[in-house]
Amino acid sequence: MDITQLRYIAVEGVIGSGKTSLARKLGDHLRAELVLEQASDNPFIERFYSDRARYALAAQLNFLFQRADQLKPLAQQRLFTQQLISDFLIEKDPIFARVNLADDEFALYSKIYEHLSPQAPLPDLLLVLQAPIETLLSRIERRGIRYEKTIEPSYLRALSDRYVQHFHHYDRAPVLFVNTQDLNFVDDPAHFTLLLEHIAAMRGQRAFFSMTMT
């Protein structure tokens, strides 16, 4: 797989997996256009982390509309003028919704999601980043975002489990699962080179990469 010929690469993973950092690294390497989540622009995000039950629906709907607005112009372009890298898929929005919303709230959210019918181009390659819960928590602590400091291991584990279930069955694009526990794509050029080599070696729809496999 020639990464320079891929029009659209999406990077996914739970909080702390390193998806935004990798998306930026790929964007710099490929001189690609970046579409990044803007979590800090969500006016409910801080209140959500302090009281998830109360603010989950407001935060989730805000994210849904935000992500749909970001991707809508791309869905209308049959050909991108340059390569595109994003650090999210719109399909992951219901994953968070199912974890965070009560049943009646999720039913309402689902109706809005179906009515909105968010459109987005399918990626030519999806990178799904994974790491143990302890590693995710350590990274979240190091980056020092105030409202993230209340994230509980049980919440991350629930998200991670839902991600595994969802992307285990994902078949809309080639997927490279990446165990980032011992990888640092930003600060270690050798690790980034290894990732590029694994992408180049992909021949089927699914592949796996971790340091123990190199």
How many CB atoms are located within 10 Å of the residue 152 CB? 11
Whole-prediction pTM: 0.91
Cα–Cα distance measured from residue 59 to residue 183, given in angstroms and rounded to the nearest whole number: 31
pLDDT tens readout for residues 39-54: 889 999 999 999 999 9
Domain definitions of the chain by residue range: 3-213
Q: CB-based burial of residue 39 (10 Å sphere; 0-12 exposed, 13-18 middle, 19+ buried)?
A: middle
| Domain 3-213 class in CATH | alpha beta
DSSP string, 131-156: --HHHHHHHHHHHT-GGGGG--HHHH
pLDDT classification of 14: cutoffs 50, 70, 90: very high
CA 49, CA 60: separation in Å to the nearest integer? Answer: 12
**CA pseudo-torsion sign 169, 98, 85, 122:** positive
* 8 Å CB contact between 23 and 85: yes
Q: What is the mean pLDDT of residues 113-127?
A: 87
Q: What is the pLDDT of residues 20-34, one digit of tens each?
A: 999 999 999 999 999
Say how far residue 14 (Cα) sits from the centre of its chain: 6
d(CA 120, CA 117): 10
82: tokens are 């340059």
Q: Which tops the pLDDT comparison, 176 or 214? A: 176
Length of the chain: 214
In this predicted structure, the answer to whether residue 147 has a pLDDT above a threshold of 50 is yes
